[in-house]
Amino acid sequence: MGYQIVTGLNIMTDIKKSPYFRQNLGFSNTVDTDQGRVFRETDGFQYFYNTKYKTNIFGQGNIGNIMFYTDHYIIKDEVALYKDKDEYIFPYDRSVIKERGINFFLGSLLKKLAEEEGQRVKDIANEAVRREEDKCKADSEKIFENPGSVNFDDLQEYLKKQRENRYKTDSK
């Protein structure tokens, strides 16, 4: 499982100053076939990025399992970090680079990624619980409002209210 970072050319020049950065220009984005020039699918991330944003990115190199790409259309001071095709966008802070160095900044990005990923997992779990609770709420009025969407719990709720009403009228 690797990480991919996509950023503009100005920020990439700062990243290349890391002593751990290894330049690797990757493959050509397209390849000649019988049908003409088609996009190469061997680099899955480049293919994913191209289909999502309709722009080419260019491989620059790596630090460990973090692959770096340049998108010449990114002009903001932002860094897009991808993990398993999930996108996380972080601001690029030049003051941190001057004080602590590029390696510290990249490490802080990975730390922020772990925190945001944990928060996303919690949000997804909470959303699933909320949806399950909404499903479990039986609505006896659904029988009259929308009979096609009645489920077993709605029917049980309707029968329960019918019994309660019958016992109330019988006891009077």
**Confidence check: pLDDT of 39 > 80:** no
**How confident is residue 139, by pLDDT bands cut at 50, 70 and 90?**
confident
Q: Which pLDDT tens digit goes with each residue over 59-110?
A: 899 998 999 999 999 999 999 999 988 899 999 989 988 999 999 999 999 9
Domains and CATH numbers, the chain: 3-130 (3.30.1930), 138-171 (no CATH)
Contacts for 138 with CB less than 8 Å, ≥ 6 apart: 153, 154, 156, 157
Residue 153 confidence (pLDDT)? 79
Residue 24 contacts residue 58 (beta carbons within 8 Å)? no
Q: Which pLDDT tens digit goes with each residue over 111-133?
A: 999 998 888 888 888 887 777 76
Q: Which of 88, 89, 70 is nearest to 14 (CA)?
A: 70
Residue 48's φ and ψ, nearest 5 degrees, are -60, -45
pTM of the model: 0.69
User: What are the helix (H) ranges across the chain?
Assistant: 9-15, 44-53, 94-100, 102-136, 142-145, 152-171
- 10 Å Cβ neighbour count for 166? 10
**Confidence check: pLDDT of 172 > 60:** no
